Amino acid sequence: MTELFISLGAIILIVALIAIARYTNSKVILWVTRGLSIALFGLFTFMLFQDDVISDILVGGVKIDPDEFTVIPNFMSDVELAWINILRWLNTLSVLVAMVAPWLKVKTLNNIMCFVAPIVFILDIIFFRLHLMAISGPEYSLTSASSIVLAIEIAIMGVLAGYFLYKKIAERDWENIGKQLGIMYAILPFMLLSVFPQNFLFNFVGNAGGEAESFSLVHRWWIYLAIIVPVLITIAFRKTSEEVRRTVLIWLSFAGFSQFFYTYEFPLSAEGLPLHLCHTAIVLVMIAYIFKCKPVFYFTYFVNVIGALLAIVMPETSNMITTEDSLHFWFNHWYAFFVPILGITLKYFPRPNFKMMRGAIYIFTIYLVAIAFLNGIINADPNNSVDYFYVYENFIVGKFEFLRSIKDGFVLEFACGEGVAKVFWLYDIIIWVAYVFMMFITWLVYSYCYKISDHYAELYALNKIDVLGIRELKKQMNGRKITEPIDLKGIDMIKFEHFSKRYGSAKNYSVKDFNLEVKAGEVFGFLGHNGSGKSTTIKSLVGIHSITEGTITVCGYDVEKQPLQAKKMIGYVSDNHAVYEHLTGREYINYVADLYEVSEADRTARMNKYVEMFNLQDAIDREIKGYSHGMKQKVMVISSLIHNPKVWVLDEPLTGLDPTSAYQIKKCMTEHAKQGNIVFFSSHVIEVVEKICDRIAIIKKGEMQGVYDLKELREKDVSLEELYLGNTGAQDE
């Protein structure tokens, strides 16, 4: 009869939900389903606090004395025991999904509600009495609180399952249904493992498996899993949508909640209150993820994670791993350890800064002071025995014996009821200092891990870009080697084709639709006022900056698609004179020569030539940090010419140089072009440009203003200075 009432009640509520969905707006049905999910959470929590007799059942008998391991004949067959374990496991999964599905728009949750939860609901009704037997034994009562609450819980789960199934049918959400179900069945095993029944192993193998302590093999495996699981979760979900990542975190926090309260009984005793640091983490993490509460999250991230890690390394359990107590300990501390970490690795919360660390220390200080006094007050009653955060009894003292005299020697005592409350104030301060120190160590570890993560993420991204670029390049080369010039018609020139550059998310372009060809044998001047786009263009040409739009080719090589080959063609003198100042001039030039794979004979001949030309014989073997500005510029010029580049690019090369040094560099530029190479340089000095350039280009506000042949300008008696000022505007100077 009870099963019939559950079924009829569920059917009536499903019909009511469908009616609400059909005849009201979407917000009403949304909040009705969310209200049911909240009610379901309350019912589920109530059931967690019930003392289930199934926790003591063994295959072939019932354990009634934990110490003597006495058994009496079982009231369940082995098949019934196995089946009810599986059904309760599936029921926990379905109920938890029903709690979160109305709040999250994720296909997998919806599909579980449509294709798994209805089946579990039907099975729950069929085997309802077996459920009650697992809770209360063979003499269960249909009118007990646990029986009534379980019936309502099953009914509400069934109602939500029925509504989700109706919604899927009504919306005809069958597109890619095979793929949807494939993803669901792939994820289900991991969701089931997260809510693994803690009595399951004991029911079938008893007290077995060894103890997880003192870094035994079993203990080490628990530690390995605590590290491996979050890594696997991060890899699996790091590239999914924010909603999916949020769902993963909320699911784990709910799973942690269900696992933590699995062994608790109502009403809670003082010892059972979730005030231990790792216990508070389970509740706080759930609050942080549901409400996206940053202060709560960063407290768990900096404080609870350390506590959980210490508990994992120094476990306070000596039970065999198959026992309910042992599994409860490990599930609790696993979730407290890695669920907060996943909040950062899955990018749900931003990486913390020092302000957040400081806030966590403040909250921890308040927590420790409160716990110190609460321990004393509760333990003043001889009938109570609690040790929240292990600052009252001797768990920590037993591992660090030198603290015993400090703990016992500095005690604050005050009357409390009929007893005396004790606060071990100096011992508590030492614990606070040690814990805050560990928080800072953790901060450093986190920071180091961030750097490693960023480094490999960048390498992965660059490698992916390279792979895609090589594939595209191979198609474009049409059978030719990718080390050959992509543009065979441009092997003796620099070519800009519709080149544009925009930095980051800036709305305006620094350079827009720039087109230019510079041929071999030319000394080409590039003019424009500060901020006109000269340096941006040059840095894109030499590969320092990326290209937003268009292409740049150097001697036929595409700067973006063939960067290595293009850079081998270029010698570059920057405008900032950046060199390794702890090297000597000769060491620095040799370093650059090694990069360009210049032979020993060629580098020696060229170095001797330019060292003598620039009169650096006395300085070449001294550290560069002692060089003047002009001497540093000369070393940069020599290093840029050491591989005899086809294209020599100079950005404001004469700025700040004395007349002699400027003359020597101008002479080098002219000679290099006469050898059939390209010299491309920017300058503000009109007189220099007029004397050594063959052609010039003028750029203004990122746009090409014109390309001019200086010989033709002279023939037309056009002043380059007037032309330049006319294009850039006298006010720009």
**pLDDT tens digits, 654-695:** 876 778 888 888 889 999 999 999 999 988 778 888 888 999
Output 109 or 729, whichever has higher pLDDT. Answer: 109
Q: Give the C-alpha separation, 94 to 192, whole Å.
A: 10
Are 658 and 629 spatial neighbours (Cβ–Cβ below 8 Å)? no
Residue 497 clears pLDDT 80, i.e. is over it: yes
Question: What b/e readout covers 253-272, taking b as 16+ CB neighbours within 10 angstroms?
Answer: bbbbbbbbbbbbeeeeebeb
pLDDT of residue 241: 92
* Least confidently predicted of 22-26, 146-150, 330-334, 352-356: 22-26
Side by side, the strands of the sheet bearing 61-65 are 57-58, 61-65, 70-72
Q: Are 13 and 157 in contact (CB under 8 A)?
A: no
pTM above 0.85, yes or no: no
341 pLDDT higher than 90: yes
DSSP for 345-394, written as a single string: HTTSSPPP-HHHHHHHHHHHHHHHHHHHHHHHHHHTSTT----GGG-SSS
Rounded distance between C-alpha atoms, residue 597 and residue 617, angstroms:
24
Please tell me the distance from the alpha carbon of residue 650 to that of residue 525, in angstroms, as a whole number.
10
pLDDT of residue 731 exceeding 60 = no
Q: What is the 3-state secondary structure (H, E, C) of 503-529?
A: CCCCCCCCEEEEEEEEECCCEEEEECC
Q: Which two tokens stand for residue 118?
A: 């209805």
pLDDT average, residue stretch 355-373: 93
Share of the chain above pLDDT 90, in %: 54
Percent of the chain with pLDDT over 70: 96
- Above 90 in pLDDT, residue 224? yes
Which has more pLDDT, 713 or 729? 713
Under 8 Å between Cβ of 625 and 617: no
Whether 1 shows a pLDDT value over 70: the answer reads no
pLDDT for position 385 = 86
Mean pLDDT of 443-455: 87
Look at residue 724 and tell me whether its pLDDT is greater than 60. Answer: yes
- Find where tokens 């570059």 sit: 572
**Taking Cα atoms as reference points, which of 285, 290, 283, 287 lies closest to residue 264?**
283
Q: What is the DSSP letter of 487?
A: -
At residue 732 the predicted structure's pLDDT band, cuts being 50, 70 and 90, is very low
Q: Is the pLDDT of residue 277 over 90?
A: no
Pick from 331-340, 600-609, 677-686: least confident: 677-686
Q: What is the pLDDT of residues 45-104, one digit of tens each?
A: 999 888 888 888 888 777 665 555 566 667 888 899 999 999 999 999 999 999 999 999
Q: How far does Cα 722 stand from its chain's mean position?
A: 57
Average per-residue pLDDT for the chain: 88
- What's the confidence (pLDDT) of residue 20? 77
Distance between CA 6 and CA 148 in Å, rounded?
Answer: 10
> Computed over its alpha carbons, how large is the radius of gyration of the chain?
37
- Check residue 24 and give left, alpha or beta (phi > 0: left; psi -120 to 50: alpha): beta
Which distant-in-sequence residues (6+ apart) come within 8 Å of 241 by Cβ?
none
Kindly state the tokens that stand for 558: 């595409």
Give 129-166 pLDDT, tens digit per residue.
999 999 988 888 888 999 999 999 999 999 999 999 99
DSSP string covering 664-703: HHHHHHHHHHHTT-EEEEE-S-HHHHHHH-SEEEEEETTE
Closest CA to 307 of 343, 327, 334: 334
| Chain segment 534-555, per-residue pLDDT in tens | 989 999 999 999 999 999 999 9
Least confident of 213-222, 427-436, 454-463: 454-463
* All structural domains of the chain with their residue ranges: 1-205, 494-732
pLDDT band at 730 (very low <50, low <70, confident <90, very high): very low
Q: Which tens digit of pLDDT belongs to each residue from 634-644? A: 899 999 999 99
Preceding peptide of 659 cis, ω within 30°: no
| DSSP element (H, E) containing 571 | strand 570-573
Q: What is the pLDDT of residue 214?
A: 83
Strand pairing class (695-700; 523-527): parallel
Whole-number pLDDT of residue 179 = 92
pLDDT at 662: 84
By C-alpha distance, which of 493, 490, 496 is closest to 702? 496
Give, in words, the CATH class of 494-732.
alpha beta
